[in-house]
Amino acid sequence: MCAKASLKKIHQEIQNCTKCPLHKTRKNAVPGEGPSDADLMFVGEAPGAEEDKTGRPFVGRSGQLLIDLLNGIGLDRDDVFITSILKSRPPNNRTPHKDEVEACISYLERQIAVINPRIIVLLGGVAISNMIGPWKLSEAHGRFYEAEGRTYFMTYHPAAALRFPKYRDIMSEDFQKLKDELDF
Ligand code: URA
């Protein structure tokens, strides 16, 4: 099966998933979107209200900031693959529970295997701790990390920059490092 078809199959499974109780409260699962051969993959925390309503990742305020940051390094939303650790919205946007991550993480692992991105950008503490282990964000941000044949890049979640404007500049600098590494 080609990458596009494999990804479509995974996304259909996600849309029908009942592996954790979040399926009872979600309106739509949010598999993620972007090219099946993307060089860059962005991993957030979990869908919020707008994503739950539309079934699309990062379409709320955090998403707008993510797009601004991408535009700042000459990329469009459509150039990259965007998803999150959880594919269903936790009630009131609470932090994902361990059992929810355990139920969901294989979907992300399968997406990574199909897309085979050059760099996986981990947005914020939930993505970082669940993919590569606990890090202090103040030390982690702007750093690349190699593990099991994959290259990760760590930065803040856009929601943090919406809450605390100083993180916006820090994220812009981090994204510049990403651009320098990708050399496009
Ligand atoms: N925040 C996330 O982490 N993921 C989304 O899809 C939207 C907001």
CA distance 173 to 163: 18
The confidence score (pLDDT) of residue 182 equals: 87
Q: Which residues does ligand 1 sit against, CB inside 6 Å?
A: 30, 44-48, 51, 57-58, 60, 62, 84
Ordered structural domains, the chain, with CATH: 39-182 (3.40.470.10)
Q: Go through the chain and tell me how many residues it has.
A: 184
Nearest atom in ligand 1 to the alpha carbon of residue 84 is 4
34 Cβ neighbours under 8 A, 6+ residues apart? 41, 77, 78, 79, 80, 81, 82
Confidence grade of residue 183 (pLDDT, cut at 50, 70, 90): confident
The confidence score (pLDDT) of residue 1 equals: 87
Residue that wins the pLDDT comparison between 182 and 156 = 156
Confidence grade of residue 175 (pLDDT, cut at 50, 70, 90): very high
pLDDT score of 123 more than 90: yes
Mean pLDDT of 112-136: 97
Average confidence score pLDDT of the chain: 97
| C-alpha distances in Å from residue 61, one per residue of 45, 64, 159, 172 | 14, 5, 8, 17
Nearest atom in ligand 1 to the alpha carbon of residue 82 is 6
Reported pTM: 0.97
SS3 call for 79: helix
| C-alpha distances in Å from residue 28, one per residue of 5, 12, 84 | 21, 12, 14
pLDDT score of 144 more than 80: yes
Tell me the torsion sign for CA atoms 147, 131, 39, 155: negative
Taking CA atoms only, the protein residue closest to ligand 1 atom 7 is 58
pLDDT tens, residue by residue, 36-81 = 999 999 999 999 999 999 999 999 999 999 999 999 999 999 999 9
